[in-house]
Amino acid sequence: MLQVSFIREHRDLVVERLAKRNLDATQMVDEAIQLDEERRAIQTELDNTLAESNSLSKEIGMLFKSGDVDKANALKTKTTDLKESSKSLSEQLATTSNALNELLYKIPNIPHESVPNGTSDEDNEEIFKEGAIPKLHDNALPHWELAKKYDIIDFELGNKIAGAGFPVYKNKGARLQRALIAYFLDKNTEAGYTEYQLPHLVNEASGFGTGQLPDKEGQMYHVTEDNLYLIPTAEVPGTNIFRDVILDQSELPVTITGYTPCFRREAGSYGAHVRGLNRLHQFDKVEIIRVEHPDNSYNAFNGMIEHVKTILNELKLPYRILKLCGGDVTFASALTYDFEVFSTAQDRWLEISSVSNFETFQANRLKLRFKNNEGKKELAHTLNGSSLALPRVLAGILENYQTEKGIKIPDVLIPYTGFSIID
């Protein structure tokens, strides 16, 4: 959520930047400014009314104490009007504030100035590419065929137990999953991130804090009886650690990492693009989250990109980095880079990580602040990224590392798997 004060002071900039999202926000922005003015005017009037009523009450108290009951009772009647007007003013205030907030929830984050214009993922800018695409043998298979051939993932079984999109990993497939999780967490903690194990269900306030609620409710599984939501990403419980928190500047940056399963309803399309591990209702992911001083957040962002690159280089997977265009950058993000790994047998790129700087957009909802060196409170910047999402990394490994004899395991993973080939 953008800060109204920022919108008020940078009206033109906000409209101009939101245009990158192909959104004409002029009307929303002006309405927000208008509502904010109304809100403050009502607030002032209400404050004055309450001030008057407070001082009368005090006076009445004094009069009772001194035994001047008649005078006190006379004053009591005076307060009736004040009560009525303060009641109606409070109602007006609530109405206006709600209207303002409803509006603010709908305004997406303003993209960073470097975000390219564009309308869809086709306009994303490839900014980096690494790793040779392997030349596969003639009988190369897509990962879902490999999974069957080597009996490491059972999609039908998952279908029986839960439904489509809930694969069962088994044998060396299960072990490889565990290896990847451990490897990613080790890489992250070596880089200074503190490891957390977080709840997999969150309450409404948390869903709201990171922006999944109220609008993107359909994306999450909702446990209605307890009003809890299954997390779509560790970002939700991880970032909500800092809801309503005031840090000291010296505590920044805060860096955390955590492994969680992720649950997504996304009743999406069917066909080859969602086959196998490409798109699931439940998948595993290791996430990195940072809370940064605003002056350092883009520096930190670059550091996260480098960090994810290191992991992919070690896994020796062919990948590229895309800078998302205005049309593709998510609602809460100011700048997002996506990592995609090349899935050789499918001949397509698969998104395996998304690193974003939300600037103050989440912090404003979360009320995540820090006390700066002058002792003033400022909103912090939040960032997060996947390092990494498991299924597509797994798909990438299976497809790119397949040989006639079996699927080789990337060297860095062998200490974690305890085997060097799936055959």
372 near RNA, rule: CB under 7 A: no
Give the 3-state secondary structure of residue 410: coil
> How far does CA 191 lie from the centroid of its chain?
21
Report the nearest approach of RNA to the CB of residue 324 (Å).
Answer: 31
The number of residues that bind RNA (CB under 7 A) is 26
**Amino acid, single-letter form, for residue 257:** T
Q: Which of 30, 40, 174, 197 binds RNA (CB under 7 A)?
A: 40
369 near RNA, rule: CB under 7 A: yes
Report the nearest approach of RNA to the CB of residue 397 (Å).
Answer: 32
DSSP of 147-200, one letter per residue?
HHHTT-EEHHHHHHHT-TT--EE-THHHHHHHHHHHHHHHHHHHTTPEEE---S
What are 137's two structure tokens? Answer: 């043998």
Instruction: Please list the residues that pair with 371 across neighbouring strands.
Output: 248, 377
Closest to RNA by CB, 42 vs 345, is: 42
Q: How many CB atoms lie within 10 A of CB 196?
A: 16
Closest to RNA by CB, 124 vs 364, is: 364
91 near RNA, rule: CB under 7 A: no
Helix (H) or strand (E) holding 112: none
228 near RNA, rule: CB under 7 A: no
Q: Which of 34, 44, 194, 403 binds RNA (CB under 7 A)?
A: 44
Q: Which of 2, 18, 25, 46 binds RNA (CB under 7 A)?
A: 46
User: At how many degrees (to 10) do helices 26-65 and 69-106 cross?
Assistant: 160
Give the 3-state secondary structure of residue 268: coil
Give the interface segment with RNA, choosing from 50-58, 109-117, 192-200, 382-390 (CB under 7 A): 50-58
Report the nearest approach of RNA to the CB of residue 90 (Å).
Answer: 9
- Interface pattern 52-81 for RNA (x via CB under 7 A): -xxxxxx-xx--xx----------x--xx-
Give the interface segment with RNA, choosing from 51-59, 266-274, 347-355, 402-410 (CB under 7 A): 51-59
How buried is 328 (Cβ within 10 angstroms: 0-12 exposed, 13-18 middle, 19+ buried)?
buried
Give the interface segment with RNA, choosing from 41-49, 142-150, 234-242, 279-287 (CB under 7 A): 41-49
Closest to RNA by CB, 200 vs 320, is: 200
Instruction: Please list the residues that pair with 148 across neighbouring strands.
Output: none
Q: Which residue, 235, 237, 249, is CA-closest to 205?
A: 237
Give the footprint of RNA on this chain (CB under 7 A).
Answer: 40, 43-44, 46-48, 50-51, 53-58, 60-61, 64-65, 76, 79-80, 83, 246, 369, 371, 377
